[in-house]
Homo-oligomer: A and B are copies of this chain.
Amino acid sequence: MPSSFGSALRVSVFGQSHSEAIGCVVEGLPSGLLVDMDALGRLMARRAPGQGPWATPRKEADLPRIVSGLNADGATCGAPLALVIENTNTRSGDYDELRRVPRPGHADLPAQLKWHGNQDVPGGGHFSGRLTAPLCAAGGIALQALATRGVRVRAHLAEVAGVRDEPFEALDNSPDARARLQRQMDRLEGRRGLPVIDDSAEGAMLAAIDAARRGLDSVGGVVECVATGLPAGMGSPMFDGLENSIARAAFGIPAVKGIEFGRGFGAARLRGSEDNDPYHLEGGRPVPSTNNAGGALGGLSTGAAVLFRLAVKPTSSIGRPQDSVDLVSGEPARLGVRGRHDPCIAPRAVPVAEAVCALALLDSWLAFPPEGAQFSLGEGRD
């Protein structure tokens, strides 16, 4: 279905930019998970606007209200969990120009053609980036579930406007490299400001973003995400493999235009002898020595870190005038998008990437576990 995904764990997102509320329903969560609302709030705060010079200064009160799915102890009870986030700024009346003149780079025009003008126009309607808030909340719960089993998911801003951060140490799978990767994740966890590993990257990124902002323009970036601690043999062949599921979910994040796993497009220029990950033994168990595959072969987890990168295009809403058309008069028109917009959306996409990664992985584990190693949280209080 359009706005839902998942096999055993089903996430259904609802809402428009200016509807009364936005939110989501999550079916299939294992019971017995004590939801940590503070941790959820921290994750969502990383996505929220108004945190720094790269993001719109608009304030949102994005605390989700969990209206169902928990028992009296605050633990998941087996029933669908529903999250509601009230929209405070609903129904502005002054969007008539937007109805007439579709914004380049947005879904305005195709939505108009799809729904014959019934689509909800203001703020992008259901296509708004604001819809990543409930997705983030759902993913935050999945992250908490995965953490109980030792899984850790983390993303960073690998690139903004051509400025690169230090990459994750995840193409190597030696014990040393794995330790370095954990330290990179620790560092990101403790960081304020832009989510980068290398402090020195932040300044150049902020400068590029600021230059774009001053030019009434925007810049894009690359988000890199990693997940560690997964069992090998999770996932499935063909169309419900890890890559398929993560990709399907990730393209649900507005502005994502590409995804690659492990070496990704770089693998196209390697030889097989360079790209294949040989095996060695650790404690008697076979383990891939490198991780060019990004943690998945044939749709199944290898036990090495799941690693992927997302291409995030520059924010479409820019102040700089662009060519468009007036749908009512049938004449050419020029449009400079007013209001406050993020000159770079990539930083706020970082926690959303973690969220969709966690949802896709928890779903894979629940639906396609290594046989006999089902995800479970164990006994309840009785």
Contacts and interface: CB of A to CB of B under 8 A. Distances in A.
A278 B106 contact: no
Contacts of A294: 257
Interface in A44-86: 65-72, 75-82, 84
A356 to B, nearest CB: 10
A2 B118 contact: no
Contacts of A318: 272-273, 276
Contact of A279 (B7, B262, B325, B346): B325
Given A1-B10, A3-B27, A300 B239 contact: no
B217 A269 contact: no
A371 B116 contact: yes
Contacts of A367: 8
B269 A161 contact: yes
A272 B4 contact: no
A205 to B, nearest CB: 12
A347 interface: no
A21 B111 contact: no
A121 to B, nearest CB: 8
A279 B127 CA distance: 19
Contacts of A131: 238
B120 A79 contact: yes
Given A110-B300, A273-B322, A368-B2, A249 B260 contact: no
A116 to B, nearest CB: 4
Interface in A13-32: 13-16, 19-23, 25, 27-28, 30-32
A92 to B, nearest CB: 10
Contacts of A297: 105-107, 109-110
Interface stretch (A137-145, A165-173, A192-200, A228-236): A228-236
B25 A12 contact: yes
Interface stretch (A35-43, A148-156, A182-190, A240-248): A240-248
A270 B313 contact: yes
A3 B256 CA distance: 26
A258 B265 contact: yes
Nearest to A302: B110
A226 interface: no
Nearest to A127: B298
A306 to B, nearest CB: 12
